[in-house]
């Protein structure tokens, strides 16, 4: 997760579905659970107030960080570690930095074993 939100990296021609569990009593005509932003480098879909689940074309649920570029993970890890050093009394910052470091280590190991 990045800033508390799940992040998935989808390829341009990849088919996927984003679903949410609407909270009870939500008026689906009044509020959309999705905000869609079109940019030069891609499309961002932000799910507001709902828990999103992303499925691939075979209806398999995808994990947060699906296909995240290694460079992005490195940048996020460095930023989180710097924030943890600036705020040594913040367990949340430290835990987030440690989580990202584990994710980076796993991603690098996977890349090294497949390359």
Rounded to the nearest 10°, the torsion over CA 44, 49, 51, 53 is -30
Give the pLDDT of residue 45.
80
Where the chain has pLDDT below 50, the residues are: 1-2, 25
Give the pLDDT of residue 113.
78
The rounded distance, in Å, linking the Cα atoms of 71 and 14 is 21
Give the pLDDT of residue 107.
87
Per the document, the length of the chain is: 115
What residue segments make up the domains of the chain, in order of their start? 1-66, 70-114
Give the pLDDT of residue 1.
43
Helix (H, G, I), strand (E, B) or coil at 51: strand
Nearest to 73 by CA among 7, 11, 14: 7
Give the pLDDT of residue 30.
55
The pTM assigned to this predicted structure is: 0.60
- Other CB atoms within 10 A of residue 55 CB: 14
């Amino acid at each position: 997760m990045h800033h508390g939100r799940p992040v998935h990296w989808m390829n341009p021609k990849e088919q996927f579905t984003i679903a949410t569990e609407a909270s009870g009593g939500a008026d689906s005509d009044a509020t959309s659970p999705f905000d869609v932003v079109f940019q030069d480098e891609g499309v961002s879909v932000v799910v507001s107030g709902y828990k999103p689940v992303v499925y691939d074309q075979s209806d398999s649920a995808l994990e947060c960080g699906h296909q995240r570029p290694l460079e992005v993970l490195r940048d996020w890890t460095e930023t989180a570690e710097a924030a943890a050093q600036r705020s040594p009394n913040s367990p949340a910052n430290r835990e987030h930095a440690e989580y990202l470091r584990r994710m980076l280590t796993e991603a690098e190991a996977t890349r090294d074993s497949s390359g």
